[in-house]
């Protein structure tokens, strides 16, 4: 195995990551009423605005 092979994303890795994200969103929606997702969305909007200032 070369260094290039160890950095590739396989189908199994991408499916696992996608399922993990969906599971996290499901838990946030059912147990926390989207508060975590809303917090991250607001912080992302603040980051985008901050980056636009430095452009």
Interior/surface letters 3-35, b for 16+ CB within 10 angstroms, e for the rest = eeeeeeeeeeeeeeeeeeeeeeeeebeeeeeee
Q: Is the pLDDT score of 4 beyond 80?
A: no
Percent of the chain with pLDDT over 70: 91
The tokens of 34 are what? 């989207």
Q: In this structure, what DSSP letter does residue 2 have?
A: -
Q: Is the pLDDT score of 40 beyond 80?
A: yes
- Residues 6+ positions from 37 with CB-CB distance below 8 Å: 25, 28, 29
Q: Give the pLDDT band of residue 3 (cuts 50, 70, 90).
A: low
Name the residue ranges covered by the structural domains of the chain. Answer: 3-53
Please name the residue that has the structure tokens 């590739």. 8
Higher-pLDDT residue of 2, 54: 54
């Amino acid at each position: 195995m070369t260094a290039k092979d160890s950095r590739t994303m396989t189908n199994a890795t991408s499916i696992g990551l996608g399922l993990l994200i969906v599971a996290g969103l499901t838990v946030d929606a059912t147990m926390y009423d989207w508060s975590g997702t809303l917090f991250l969305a607001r912080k992302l909007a603040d980051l985008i605005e901050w980056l636009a200032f430095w452009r």
